[in-house]
Structure 1
Amino acid sequence: MKRLLRCLVLVALAAGLAACGPPRKSVFPPTLSVQQLQVLPNGLWRLTLRIQNNSYGEMDFKSLDGQLQVAALIPVRLHATFERDIPAFAGDTLPLDVLPTPEMAKALAAVEAKGSAGSLAYRISGRTSAKPEQEKQPRDFDFNGHDWLSPVPGIAHTFR
């Protein structure tokens, strides 16, 4: 009887240890925002997008597909394929050139004419593909953010 009880205890302990594995790290959608916008001489806008990993583990970012809307104007498409390994709770930047609509360029020029007192609302939304640390395949995460762009004092054609 004692021998049977010992065997059952050992089997239960082995099963309990087998169920124990590395703890799963929580995964949360990233946050994307415009860190800087620079108007290039050819009229293109060079966006510096900030990707903030809000998860408890590293994420390998692969691509993004979305749109940038300035004020209430027609949005422009954002698309990029890239490789960024971003640690937990850290951020990284991604340069991206976009061709604004003429209305968007006029709105930004009007804000620049006001100097540091001017600001322009923007909205960025879409989907990014990333592979969380403990997963084998990348998956898509939606993002949606909004903020204001203001001219940077002393740096022409640059907004933050």
Structure 2
Amino acid sequence: MRWAVWLVCVATLVACASGPVRRVSEPSARIQQLTVLADGSWTADLRIENFSSIPMRFDSLQLAMKIGDQDAGTLSAHPALTIGPESADVISVTVSPTVAAKLAVADGLASRQGVQYSLDGMVTATPDEQRQREFKIKRSSALSPAPGLSGVLR
């Protein structure tokens, strides 16, 4: 009986000594806000989400953006931003959209119906104390006009 109790105590101590699990999960990116600027370009506020149990430094991103079925342009940035475990942060990226995408957004704003969008590309990130990795991003969602804010979709 003493051996059983002793064995349980040792097993418990060994389990505690291993520390927290260091899990690297696929990150996510989505448009939190899209603002139409006076010169016709857009500012996309991208929410980057780190689902890992360790911090990750987001070095670069290249995301092809579509509005509805129209190619809108590429969101490209080198944020060099560290995001803590299971956290998120927002970066702003300026894009010069295609004419077809500008018309789709203008129509969505005028009709107060909003627009569908999709992102497809790669995010390069470095998990804490590990080597740099590329993660595939594929996201589809919708943006709606922000009440009281002209030219803003959320």
1:91-102 matches, within 5 Å, as 91-102=88-99
3-state secondary structure, aligned to 2:91: strand
Q: Does the alignment pair 1:142 with 2:139?
A: no
Determine if contact 2:23/2:53 at 8 Å carries over to the other structure: yes
Residue 106 of structure 2 aligns with an amino acid whose one-letter code is: A
| Structure showing greater Rg | 1
Q: Does the alignment pair 1:87 with 2:84?
A: yes
TM-score by length of 1: 0.82
Runs of 4+ that moved beyond 4 A: 20-24
RMSD across aligned positions (CA): 1.5
How many residues are matched?
139
1:126 corresponds in structure 2 to 121
Percentage of identical aligned residues: 29
1:31 corresponds in structure 2 to 28
- Give the C-alpha shift of residue 65 in structure 1: 1.1
Residue 138 of structure 1 aligns with an amino acid whose one-letter code is: Q
Q: Does the alignment pair 1:65 with 2:62?
A: yes
| Equivalent-residue separation in structure 1 for 2:110 and 2:114 (angstroms) | 10
Determine if contact 2:114/2:153 at 8 Å carries over to the other structure: no
Residue 32 of structure 2 aligns with an amino acid whose one-letter code is: Q
Determine if contact 1:24/1:134 at 8 Å carries over to the other structure: no
- Give the C-alpha shift of residue 134 in structure 1: 3.7
| Equivalent-residue separation in structure 2 for 1:83 and 1:22 (angstroms) | 28
- Give the C-alpha shift of residue 66 in structure 1: 1.8
- Give the C-alpha shift of residue 75 in structure 1: 4.1
Structure 2 residues without counterparts, runs of 5 or longer = 1-13
TM-score by length of 2: 0.85
| Equivalent-residue separation in structure 2 for 1:129 and 1:142 (angstroms) | 9
Residue 121 of structure 1 aligns with an amino acid whose one-letter code is: Q
Q: Does the alignment pair 1:56 with 2:50?
A: no
| Equivalent-residue separation in structure 2 for 1:148 and 1:21 (angstroms) | 43
Structure 1 residues without counterparts, runs of 5 or longer = 1-16
| Equivalent-residue separation in structure 2 for 1:92 and 1:152 (angstroms) | 21
| Equivalent-residue separation in structure 1 for 2:73 and 2:83 (angstroms) | 26
| Equivalent-residue separation in structure 2 for 1:23 and 1:35 (angstroms) | 32
Residue 59 of structure 2 aligns with an amino acid whose one-letter code is: K
- Give the C-alpha shift of residue 74 in structure 1: 2.2
